[in-house]
Structure 1
Amino acid sequence: MSTHTEPPYPQTPRTTPTRYRDRATWEREAVHAILDEGYLCHLGFVVDGAPVVLPTIYARVGDRLYVHGSTGSRPLRAAADPGMPVCVTVTLVDGLVLTRSAFNHSINFRSVVAHGTAHRVTDPAELAVALDALVDQVVPGRSADCRPADAKELAATAVVRLDLDEVSAKVRADDADDEPADLALPHWAGVVPVRTVRGTPVPDAALPPEQPLPPYLRDAG
């Protein structure tokens, strides 16, 4: 039985790194895995000729990325037709790479960079899907276990959509890389692993003592 694999994203000049090209990948599975694991993205755009970068939450639905914002934000208002050119980045840190020389210190990471034109989500059905996805990106299963946004809250919330047409991932997962002449130096070298760990949930003070912990929190790693 053959296994169907989606074709990779197309390579473009903007998604092809000029350094360490061997660390780049355009495979959909790799790109999606990084996006699905993260919590925050950085949304970059230009306002009045000056660059702006905002940290915010995001969620992937298929080959679309939804980014959360406020209707009071001037840049997000600019995402209405004809859209706003943006660059979205997501980075996960996996390790601190310590070498014998200061120059060769590095970080093991997984990252995604996406370019394109962002559009404001106005269709009610799509907006409902996007908002549920944004909640579930933080805690999977949470959107079904909380009150949906009311009309006033929806009016204050903006979501922009970026189709993942021009996107790539880059990964460093290597050991310390010292120069041969430095290997005899008396300094520790190696990798310090870094990982994000969820702690034990702390109930809200107003929560009834008998309120059970939801399964999606009990089972979360």
Structure 2
Amino acid sequence: MESIESPAFVPTQRSTVKRLAKRAEYDRTTVYQILDEGLICHVGFVVDGNPFVIPTAYGRIEEQLYIHGSPASRMLRTLQTGIDVCVTVTLLDGLVLARSAFHHSMNYRSVVVFGTASIVSEPEQKLEALRAFTEHIVPGRWSEVRPPNRSELTGTLVLALPLVEASAKVRTGPPVDDEEDYALPVWAGELPLELATAQPIADPRLSSAIEPPAYVTAYTRAATRQA
């Protein structure tokens, strides 16, 4: 297994970016920043010849990616048997409007991870993984809420996927038109997109004396990025 100190993932037959390879990134900093900023991953796997892609939340602790859910979940029951899995995370940064329909594109950052997930059974590691889920979604939240009790821990299945085989793909910048199209009288450029929060809505049963914490009022995904 690659060490967490390694500056880059070693491309494999599966993780090597083949289409538009110049957009490939294999360094850990880029991969981890994308994973840490995203909220939802899509888990792909095959059961009895049938492909499935399931969206789910996730968390990361160093070189381990964690997913969790009910022990009754078909996806988690299947993955814990040791089958190959593909996990993807995509961040959409903007629309790229070209002068021709053909060259329209999007600016994005994406990560693909391949591997085999294993069940987390050790109680302390399982609790730490659940903390990572919470902190991944809302940094600072875990220290204020009630932690999972024994029953809740028992009723939650956690799987770990080693971050060994992974790659990122990134597109930035303006459109790239055919040279003869630059003279067309058509607006072209980038339309940046970002994930933004609206005004927090308090639980109707919340005491009026409790104000929303700073991590709610100043919430931003960019603040969750880690090296």
Pick the TM interval, shorter chain: over 0.9
Q: Which residue of 2 aligns with 1:33?
A: 33
Residues 76-129 of structure 1 deviation map (CA, whole Å, 9 limit, x = unaligned): 112335x22100000000010011111111110001100000112111111101
Q: Which residue of 2 aligns with 1:168?
A: 167
* Alpha-carbon contact 1:95-1:109 (below 8 Å) kept: yes
Matching residue's letter, 1:79: L
Determine helix, strand or coil for the equivalent of 1:78.
Answer: helix
Contact 1:72–1:156 under 8 Å retained in 2: no
1:70 positional shift:
1.9
Identify the residue that residue 76 of structure 2 maps to in structure 1: 76
Report if aligned partners of 2:115, 2:161 keep a CA contact under 8 Å in 1.
yes
Query: Secondary structure in 1 aligned to 2:143?
Result: helix
Native 8 Å contact 2:17 2:167 kept in 1: no
Stretch moving more, 137-146 or 67-76: 67-76
Contact 1:99 1:190 in 2 (8 A): yes
In 2, the alpha carbon distance for the partners of 1:168 and 1:16 equals 7
User: Are 2:193 and 1:184 equivalent residues in the alignment?
Assistant: no
Cα distance, 1:184 vs structure 2: 2.3
Select between 67-76 and 129-138 the one with higher mean Cα deviation: 67-76
Q: Distance in 2 between matches of 1:37 and 1:55?
A: 16
Please give the residue correspondences for 1:36-185 in structure 2 after superposition, counting only pairs within 5 Å: 36-81=36-81, 83-185=82-184
Aligned counterparts of 2:154 and 2:49: Cα–Cα separation in 1 = 29
In 1, the alpha carbon distance for the partners of 2:68 and 2:186 equals: 45
- 1:23 aligns with 23
Kindly report the root-mean-square deviation, in angstroms, between the aligned alpha carbons of the 2 structures: 1.5
Mapped to 2, the partners of 1:80 and 1:14 lie a distance apart of 21
1:193 equivalent in alignment to 2:192: yes
Q: Deviations over 1:9-67 (max 9, x none)?
A: 11111111112111111111111111111100001111121110000001110001001
Q: Which ranges of structure 2 fall in alignment gaps of 5 or more residues?
A: 221-227
**Deviation per CA, 1:120-171, whole angstroms, max 9, x where unpaired?**
2111111101101001111001111112223333333222110000001110
Q: Which runs of 5+ in 1 are unaligned?
A: none
Q: Equivalent residue for 2:225?
A: none
SS at match of 1:126: helix
Larger displacement relative to structure 2 (151-160 or 39-48): 151-160
Counterpart Cα distance in 2 of 1:169 and 1:183: 30
Q: Is the 8 A contact 2:54 2:75 kept in 1?
A: no
